[in-house]
Amino acid sequence: MKKYILAIDQGTSSTKTILFDELGLAVAKGSVNLKTTYFDNGFVEQNPEDIYQNVLDSVRLCLNNFTDQGLQLRDIISCGISNQRETFVLWDKNGKALAPAVVWACKRSIDICTDLIEKGQNDTIKKKTGLLLDPYFSGTKLLWLLQNDAALKEKVTQGEVYFGTVDCWLLYKLSNGTHFKTDYTNASRTLLFNIHTLKWDSEILENWELSNLNLPQVCPSSHDFGEMNLSQIFDNNNNISIPITALIGDSHAAAFGEGCFEKGTAKVTMGTGSSIMMNIGDEAVLSNFGMLTTICWSTEDRIDYALEGAIVSCGSTIEWLKNELQLFSNPAETASMAMEINDNSGVYLIPAFSGLGAPHWQMNRKASIEGMTFGTTKNHIVRAALESIPYQIKDVIEAMTKDMKAPLKSISVNGGMTQNKFVIHYLADLLGIPLNKQQNSDVSALGAAYLSGLKSGVYKNIEQLAILVKNQTEKVLANPNNELPVNGYLGWKQKINQHQTK
């Protein structure tokens, strides 16, 4: 009997559901777009019920695709869930949402972060959580909600509010409220979790008046989280239940799917935003160069930590050029537009639409296009936008190398922007090393599936997974004769540093 693993990858703009076989090959898919509301003031929200319904719709599409091939639902051994990180939901014990889901890209808590930093809390937060006081993370946006909604704050005081990241919300809903759990990776992105003790930090909760907030049980990423009954999906008497044996943040799932199993291996996810994550082994090393320390992934007998640099604007920059400036109708056109000109002619796009992330952490910086003349064309602007992605990645990798006092062993790339040939070759040439690229582009879903399969017995161990990953990886080679990226990067650093020294 062939065995299959269901992977739900709940992202910012869509939910993808994929069924993988034992070799890690996708056999069925379903994808449904998800609405995100972006406000002029930098607020970003989603409807929690929309997220849940989006998942049900995506799973239904995938399972129908699976059975249409004559395959049997009973051969699905387990399910893993990867999710957009930092986005959180508040709900009551009946599973009713009490506020909009506040999305990771939301900037509503800038003033709260500034206030907490001025009160001297940043060092404590960094030591305990591995993070910085930044609106990117859940905790300060939760404080904003409570400061601006007296009724909600009273409910927290009375112990009536449940808090969870998207994985936790989905598990609660899919299990009809019987399981209130999250994993170490998602907990480590909230500013409320101590990555050394692996517990919710009572001192932080007390300082922020959150001691009565209901927080989920925190478990390894590969773990028995409960079951999902398919009657929810198909609205019939289908009593098949699938064990949920993995929960993990999407970037961490990508690291696992890319085979970042040992110290010094790294991955770059290029999606709406971008996450560069490097496995640093079984000890949490705090960064001196603007990186975050986080939990990379975990099983019941092993926890690996990581350094991470989070880039806020990656694919979203290209979407902005398309939707607002209307420089092209399809992002696929951008690679050829960039290659129609020889270089950027000194034009740089600094994509600080929601501030600049690691390693700069310039929360209040605004996006800008610099170096334009009357000779600047739309191709220059498109090229500058594409170049900004490798430049930001290089910033992060330089900082990681300083923290580790050693070069990276390997770098794997994934995410939608890896389909852009200009970006991927420019990045390889800029870094000067080959890039590992999985044949399967849905690597977050793959990582969730691998972790789920470890717990459910589809896979024996990580060594078996390492062989699977190697067999599905191709290399993008660097061109040592292309000096444009290196020279362009010098100009980028100059633009970034000009702002920092003002």
Digit-coded pLDDT (tens) for 42-59:
899 999 999 999 999 999
Q: Which residues of 312-325 are buried (b: 16+ CB within 10 A; e: fewer)?
A: bbbbbbbebbbeee
Tokens of 222: 């590969």
Percent of the chain residues past pLDDT 70, beyond the cut: 99
Domains along the chain? 4-250 (3.30.420.40), 259-501 (3.30.420.40)
Say whether pLDDT at 264 is over 70: yes
pLDDT at 497: 87
Average pLDDT over residues 247-266: 94
Check residue 25 and give its pLDDT: 94
Residue 406 has pLDDT above 80, yes or no: no
- The residue-averaged pLDDT of 331-348 equals 95
For the CA atoms of 284, 288, 290, 294, the dihedral, rounded to the nearest 10 degrees, stands at: 0
Query: How many C-beta neighbours within 10 Å does residue 101 have?
Result: 23
Among 16-20, 171-175, 198-202, 232-236, which stretch is predicted with the lowest mean pLDDT? Answer: 232-236
Q: How confident is the model at residue 215 (pLDDT cuts 50, 70, 90)?
A: very high
Query: pLDDT at residue 438 above 90?
Result: no
The confidence score (pLDDT) of residue 441 equals: 81
Q: Which one-letter amino acid corresponds to residue 170?
A: L
Q: State the pLDDT at residue 274.
A: 87
Mean pLDDT of the 206-219 span: 97
| pLDDT for 288 beyond 60 | yes
The answer to whether 168 and 186 are in contact (CB under 8 A) is yes
pLDDT at 500: 58
Owner of token pair 């009572």: 202
Q: How many residues does the chain have?
A: 502
462-486 average pLDDT score: 93
- Check: pTM over 0.85? Answer yes or no: yes
The C-alpha R_g of the chain, in whole angstroms, comes to: 22
